[in-house]
Amino acid sequence: MIGRWIAAVTLLLGAIILSLGTGSTAIAPAELLTLLGRGFGAGADSQNGQILWLFRVPKALVAIMAGSALSVSGLQMQTLFRNPLADPFVLGVSAGASLGAALVIVLGGWWLGTWGLVGAAFAGAMGTSLLVVWVAHRLRQSQALLIFGLLLGYAIAAVLAILLQFGAAERIQRFVLWSSGSFGGVTWRDLPTMAIATGLGHTLALTLAQPLNVLLLGEAYAQSLGMAVGPMRLALILNSTLLAATTTAFCGPISFIGIAVPHLSAGLLKTGDRRLLIPFCALIGAALALGSDSLTQILGGGIVLPLNAITALLGTPIVIGIILRSAK
């Protein structure tokens, strides 16, 4: 098992080097290591140093935080609902964030700037989550809550589609660009906020790892062991929403990572122990996010492809494999 952890760390380091060296201006590995070794001040003297430290390093850090957050959130959701196709946005978090962003962009609130957009997206995601939490008090079964979340997401998507019909073409284009997902819109000034939120979510996820192991055997069995299933379910929902909402607010809705990585990690690590899977998912999710972002530039040939298109191409085979394996 130690070899698998070493392989995961090596994969992440390789993805980091690829991400930092890939772009409109390629940076060779030797020069890359030199610029990184000189540090921010001295390393940013040259043109490649400025490209590296002002743009690529923060983008790589955002991809690491976003990929790990979505993966851990997806693992929690799949365990809670005991559904292999559950993901961080199954409770309408993505739809709520998109609606909040659309209200700012389409209705002319773009002048609020980046933090206005981030705040609106986060408020929309958390508002949806709070509604789900309220419903969770009335629904005893997680599967019923899952269905409610899906229906809520469809309803919000319908409202969003109507809202877009009344927006100007330029504003709609801005919203489309936001909804395609990107790790490049977060600056050094914004990084601490995202790091604190995702760090808190990861810490809580590790704290809840053992209860997740108990929930693998079903809510009835967990209750027989004395677990307060209701409060635990609410804690998992809120923590998953914190991770997913933070990522969506800063990067836009990123698809498939939350579904695919937990299954990929479980297959590689050969264990269902959530105490091990949570940090392993964070490593694989970060590497996959970095790799996907690099492919948006490598495959485009000078044109940056939509991030969600690449994550969908990478995640679809994994999801199909899950369905075929379940059918057996």
pLDDT tens over the chain, length 328 residues:
788 999 999 999 999 999 999 888 888 888 888 888 887 765 567 888 888 888 999 999 999 999 999 999 999 988 888 878 777 777 788 888 888 888 888 776 555 666 777 888 888 888 887 887 788 767 766 677 778 888 888 898 899 888 888 877 888 888 888 888 899 888 888 899 899 999 999 999 999 999 899 888 877 888 888 888 888 888 888 898 889 888 988 898 898 899 899 988 988 898 889 999 999 999 999 999 999 999 998 887 778 889 999 998 888 887 787 777 766 6
Residue 26 lies in a domain: no
The structure tokens listed for 177 are 């660009």
Give the residue among 83, 88, 98 at the shortest CA–CA distance from 236: 88
The residues near 251 (Cβ < 8 Å, ≥ 6 apart) are 62, 66, 181, 182, 183, 185, 186
Q: Are 84 and 78 within 8 A, CB to CB?
A: yes
Tell me if 15 is assigned to some domain.
no
Nearest alpha-carbon partner for 117 in 56, 174, 183: 174
195-213 burial: b if 16+ Cβ within 10 Å, else e: eebbeebbebbeebbebbb
Six token digits for residue 321: 């494999």
- Residues 178 and 164: beta-carbon distance below 8 Å: no
Does residue 81 lie within any of the structural domains? yes
Q: Is residue 283 part of a domain?
A: yes
Please count the structural domains in the chain. 1
Task: Say if 177 falls within a structural domain.
Answer: yes
Would 131 be classed as within a structural domain? Answer: yes
Residue 72: its pLDDT value, please? 96
Asked whether residue 236 is domain-assigned, the answer is: yes
Report if residue 28 sits inside a domain.
no
pTM of the model: 0.89
Residue 230: CATH number of its domain: 1.10.3470.10
Query: Within the chain, where are the H helices?
Result: 2-21, 29-43, 47-51, 57-81, 93-105, 113-136, 142-164, 169-179, 191-207, 209-215, 219-224, 229-251, 257-269, 274-298, 307-327
- Cβ atoms 294, 22 nearer than 8 A: yes
CB 250 within 8 A of CB 186: yes
Q: How far apart are CA 73 and CA 96, in angstroms?
A: 17
Residue 17 to residue 265: CA distance in whole angstroms: 22
- Alpha-carbon 179 to chain mean position: 13
What confidence score (pLDDT) does residue 237 get? Answer: 84
Residue that the structure tokens 């996820």 belong to: 205
Exposed / middle / buried, residue 120 (Cβ in 10 Å: 0-12, 13-18, 19+): buried
pLDDT at 277: 95
Q: Chain centroid to CA 133: how far?
A: 21
Which of 213, 200, 188 is closest to 76 using CA atoms?
213
Q: pLDDT value at position 129?
A: 79
Positive or negative torsion for Cα 118, 122, 123, 125: positive
Task: Show the domain range for 155.
Answer: 46-327
- φ/ψ region of 310 (left if φ > 0, alpha if ψ in -120 to 50, else beta) reads alpha
